[in-house]
Structure 1
Amino acid sequence: METPHSAVATAQASGMKRELGWYASFSVAFGFVSIATGIFTTYGAVLNTSGARGIWAWPIAVVGQLAVAAIFGALAARMPISGYAYQWVSRLANPILGWLMGWISFAFLIIVVVAVDYTIAATILPELFGYTSTPQNNWVITAVVMLLQAILVALSTRATNKVNAVAVTIQIIGMIGLTVLLFVVGGIAGRLDFANLFATAPLPSTDYWDFGGLSDVGPFPLAFLLGAFTIVGFESAANLAEETKDPARVIPKAMIQAVLSLGVLGMLFLIAITALAGDTAELAASATPVAAVITSVLGPVVGKILLVLVVVSIFSCGLVITLSGTRLVWAMSRDERFPGWQLLRKVNASRGTPVASSVFVFVVTQVILAIFAQSSDALFVLFSAATLLPAMIYAGTILMYAVKRRSLPASQGFSLGKWEIPVLVLAAVWLVYELAIFRDDSFAQPRLYVGFMILIGAVYLAYLLVRRGVKGMTMPDMVDVDKVLDVAPPTHK
């Protein structure tokens, strides 16, 4: 049986350079969330399941996710270490639950990057270049995009974050400019129809607010998927804690600011697109509804230039997810708790990146893409699974925080103070409501994916327990890991 790791031995294996500042941290959180990605991916589904009125679920989802981000910020200020929820739950509850949280996080990251990159192929490029989207060309394009992202992540963390910072800057400027242009040009042309904001077409208005039964969900509750899918991944900033300067102060601020700014900008963009939608029932039948509205209002030249900026934004989102996925695999491998950890824990001495983990994540995501790419509703299945999994991660982490909040290490830079209990209750209520939506029969395939991945994880966890025993899964003491990392000499494998 193997002996437990000490705090220093586990933390010592980093070898990462602490060189990321506030804007890099903010860019990671903002880039992962990416309102361009989320809205382009899910807007069509919302029109078909909830009508245009469904956009009003967005601000509610933003408030709920903001509460989650605040709790995660409190955790990041106490345990600034790569692996975020995996590391936190391992210490808040026990290493076995922490391992399961890490595995679920891995299952989320490998499918959400496919969903994000698939959006480029399925919802933007056909409108940009005027061709018909098919499962086959979507598959090829998505595979190439993921390859480029994996190469960047493997080559250099600094280069990856520079690309992401530039892309996030483009996204902020581009989305603000696009939203303003839509309002101005649409207003001048007399095309803004704010009555659309409350339309239910192509759905009837009867029973619109119904919560549903045991295996079905009403129209408006389904609209929460728009915000629930989009406003996730802000915690990715915490996954680069060991590469961030003063992470206990920088990361919580970056996460909360990212959710707030994305929430406001996203709502304005949704109002603009919906007010300019024209016949919402007709638009719901389009495979590229958001892109179609943009080119229709702004013209083919300006519209396509802005769509190029959107492609850059979505590529950035996929890049950050790939980076986050490789760091999670590396963090779990460093603790000898991931399949193939002997190879995956290695950090390339010259590049300072976990190249093996980057290659591994790329191969697994290609397998996921191959499984789902032939489906006619691939995008819906992908983004649904990529919404269910983070909700499970958030709920598990929030529960552990509620139970163990009094035994946490002292905060190093961020505290909720007297707002802790109200924020905790709000986050819990929101996540219970969100998870309840997935009882609908339309989510059978996403639930199957989640169940299959959990089964694989359970088999490997059983192997670990048989080989090492429960004591062999013990994590380092819940100390100031950040200080341990700063004093421990870096090692390269």
Structure 2
Amino acid sequence: MNIRKHSSNTVKSASPPAENYRDELRRTISPFQSFAVAFGFVSIATGIFTTYGAVLNSSGPMGIWTWPIVVLGQLMVALLFGSLSARIPVTGYVYQWMSRLTNPVLGWMMGWLSFTFLIIVTAAVDYTIASTILPVTFGYVATLNNTWGITAVVMVLQAIMIACSTSFTQRFNGIAVTIQLVGMLSLVVLLFGAGYAHNLLDFSRLFDTGSIARTDYFSLGTLTHAGPFVLGTLLGAFTIVGFESAANLAEETHEPERVVPKAMWQAVLSLGIIGFLFLVAVTALAKDPTELARSGTPVADVIYRVLGPVTGNALLVLVIISIFSCGLVIMLSSTRLVWAMSRDARFPGHQILHKVDPTHFTPRNATVFSMLITQVVLAAFSQDQSALFTLFGAATLLPAMIYAATVIMYIAKRKQLPESRGFKLGIWETPVICLAVIWLAFELLLFRDEQFRGAWSYIALMCAIGGTYLAYLLLTRGRQGLTMPDMISIDSVLDNDARSVLNNDVRSMTDN
């Protein structure tokens, strides 16, 4: 399984040499930490706390039944991503796969689109802490300015952690994921227990449409509007994304061909089950769904009312840690993508951004750059009353586009993929592909709704910026100048003896 045969010919001098594909980052990520990366990025706490109110307003309580549909669809996508990551376990994931299996121009486009997604979703996740949880936890009124300020500080703290130590970041995320698992399961048990004890559970609310009319509730909608039930898929579509972040740390993971695919599908499945139980509990305890829909912090309100201020606040602190960790993992993934594209001289400022700090073995410059760009995006939305919806709308649309393009590429190139030692779909490949295609086509149709105009505007602007830089690359280097550099044989990386050497003998990075 030599990936070299899938690479293009020798690059021009504008591109980095093949030696740059030797391991420059420490292989320190364990199987649990890889799972924690995928689990932490998805973060049901983040997704549900962010979008539950929007779903109550668009679909009513019954909108939660779209959750199992989304989980099944995204699980199929995760399995296909696992199949790719087992064959090309390289930092840069979609950018690398598309560049090497189709052509580097399409690969660059996917890389830029992925960067656009990671930037906006970092802002959306961190904004959630300041806008939907901290006001209830600490009893203050959230304003546009204090929400902006708190979110900006959170981003700086995350960037400092990532730049200083990957191992510390991974340990923190592992602890946070454990907290999230314990915290969410505890929330589910306590909500059901307290609801039963005080006769607060009303499961008929699970089939209530709230203020949404039942007429045409299940319709697909019109040319510019999605139907009420269809809009409910936003809840899961925003939440169950980012599982592929485990693949973006492949070069820092022990046995990535085996570990990364498992981390992705296990994260989707486990989060899907826990998340649905939590949604059922919160919805069954919603005293008045129509009134709750008017709140800016509906989930926190239910927890606070049912469990009381002491227990409620304690559990909300655990949720804050979980969401902080989610933003941390997303920023970590963003820095690795920027670094990977810069290593190939494909990213603006690559001369600086490709460097690895010789002391901490982290892409410090790429980390600072990602944080600063995220701050710019946050500032652009900071004075918008509907900022959170616009942010999560764009953060839902972009991965759907990325997943669809990657699945299409997989279908076209699957017969040409090298063999995998770690993960195979076997006879299940065809049904998995069919279900993934049906789900992604359905999801993309959702974004014809005019309320996503702001999300489309953000994507159009970022694509225009990226397109300008791509044109510059093509004009100055030509298409041949974007040819991907050869990598060392994946066989040797997967070989036990070679891996032992790589783990114990980290090469120093030259400033090139």
Scaled by the length of structure 1, the TM-score of the pair is 0.98
Letter in 2 for 1:379: L
Post-superposition Cα deviations, 1:3-31, rounded to whole Å, max 9, x if no partner, equal 4758833413x411111111000000000
Distance 2:20 2:86 in 1: 19
- 1:270 correspondence with 2:279: yes
Cα deviation for residue 490 of structure 1 reads 2.6
Residues 38-117 of structure 1 mapped to structure 2, 5 A cutoff:
38-117=47-126
Aligned to 1:130: 139
* 3-state secondary structure, aligned to 1:137: helix
Aligned to 2:237: 228
- 1:19 correspondence with 2:28: yes
* 3-state secondary structure, aligned to 1:410: coil
Cα deviation for residue 132 of structure 1 reads 1.2
Q: 2:492 aligns with which of 480, 483, 489?
A: 483
**Where does structure 2 lack aligned partners over 5 or more consecutive residues?**
1-10
Letter in 1 for 2:115: F
Aligned to 1:205: 214
Letter in 1 for 2:401: M
Cα deviation for residue 60 of structure 1 reads 0.2
Residues 176-195 of structure 1 mapped to structure 2, 5 A cutoff:
176-195=185-204
Letter in 2 for 1:427: A
Cα deviation for residue 298 of structure 1 reads 0.2
- 1:259 correspondence with 2:268: yes
* 3-state secondary structure, aligned to 1:337: coil
Distance 1:84 1:466 in 2: 26
Distance 1:478 1:90 in 2: 13
Distance 1:31 1:171 in 2: 9
Post-superposition Cα deviations, 1:236-273, rounded to whole Å, max 9, x if no partner, equal 00011000000000000011110000000000000000
Cα deviation for residue 357 of structure 1 reads 0.3
Letter in 2 for 1:2: K
Asked if 2 retains the 8 angstrom alpha-carbon contact of 1:193 and 1:275, the reply is: yes
Aligned to 2:317: 308
Q: 1:401 aligns with which of 405, 410, 414?
A: 410
Asked if 1 retains the 8 angstrom alpha-carbon contact of 2:104 and 2:483, the reply is: yes
- 1:298 correspondence with 2:315: no
In the superposition, relative to structure 1, how do residues 379 and 272 fare at CA in structure 2: closer, same or farther (>3 Å)? same
Distance 2:18 2:257 in 1: 19
Distance 1:208 1:135 in 2: 34
Post-superposition Cα deviations, 1:160-215, rounded to whole Å, max 9, x if no partner, equal 00000000000000000111000000011000000100111121111111111111
In the superposition, relative to structure 1, how do residues 168 and 48 fare at CA in structure 2: closer, same or farther (>3 Å)? same
Asked if 1 retains the 8 angstrom alpha-carbon contact of 2:135 and 2:142, the reply is: yes
Residues 293-372 of structure 1 mapped to structure 2, 5 A cutoff:
293-372=302-381
Distance 2:492 2:52 in 1: 44
Post-superposition Cα deviations, 1:44-73, rounded to whole Å, max 9, x if no partner, equal 000000100000000000000000000000
Distance 1:202 1:87 in 2: 46
Residues 153-192 of structure 1 mapped to structure 2, 5 A cutoff:
153-192=162-201
Asked if 2 retains the 8 angstrom alpha-carbon contact of 1:47 and 1:54, the reply is: yes
Distance 2:145 2:371 in 1: 19
Distance 1:2 1:240 in 2: 27
Distance 1:272 1:439 in 2: 31
Distance 1:82 1:20 in 2: 13
Aligned to 2:18: 8
Asked if 2 retains the 8 angstrom alpha-carbon contact of 1:48 and 1:284, the reply is: yes
Asked if 1 retains the 8 angstrom alpha-carbon contact of 2:59 and 2:232, the reply is: yes
Post-superposition Cα deviations, 1:120-152, rounded to whole Å, max 9, x if no partner, equal 000001111111111111100100111100000
Distance 1:157 1:256 in 2: 23
Aligned to 1:461: 470
Asked if 2 retains the 8 angstrom alpha-carbon contact of 1:202 and 1:284, the reply is: no
Cα deviation for residue 412 of structure 1 reads 2.2
Cα deviation for residue 276 of structure 1 reads 0.1
* 3-state secondary structure, aligned to 1:195: helix
Distance 2:138 2:209 in 1: 31
- 1:145 correspondence with 2:154: yes
Asked if 2 retains the 8 angstrom alpha-carbon contact of 1:58 and 1:226, the reply is: yes
Post-superposition Cα deviations, 1:306-339, rounded to whole Å, max 9, x if no partner, equal 0000000000000000100000000000000000
Distance 1:74 1:273 in 2: 36
Give the % identical residues. Answer: 60
Asked if 1 retains the 8 angstrom alpha-carbon contact of 2:56 and 2:289, the reply is: yes
Distance 1:427 1:4 in 2: 38
Aligned to 2:447: 438
Computed over aligned residues only, the root mean square deviation of the Cα atoms, in angstroms, reads 1.5
Asked if 1 retains the 8 angstrom alpha-carbon contact of 2:87 and 2:417, the reply is: yes
Distance 1:20 1:291 in 2: 34
Distance 1:327 1:261 in 2: 26
Distance 1:287 1:413 in 2: 45
In the superposition, relative to structure 1, how do residues 164 and 325 fare at CA in structure 2: closer, same or farther (>3 Å)? same
- 1:450 correspondence with 2:459: yes
Asked if 2 retains the 8 angstrom alpha-carbon contact of 1:106 and 1:328, the reply is: yes
Aligned to 2:296: 287
**Where does structure 1 lack aligned partners over 5 or more consecutive residues?**
none
Aligned to 2:433: 424
Post-superposition Cα deviations, 1:212-239, rounded to whole Å, max 9, x if no partner, equal 1111111011111110100000000001
* 3-state secondary structure, aligned to 1:428: helix
In the superposition, relative to structure 1, how do residues 417 and 108 fare at CA in structure 2: closer, same or farther (>3 Å)? same
Distance 1:470 1:281 in 2: 56
* 3-state secondary structure, aligned to 1:255: helix
* 3-state secondary structure, aligned to 1:299: helix
* 3-state secondary structure, aligned to 1:111: helix
Letter in 2 for 1:431: L
Total equivalences in the alignment = 492
Q: 2:424 aligns with which of 408, 415, 437?
A: 415
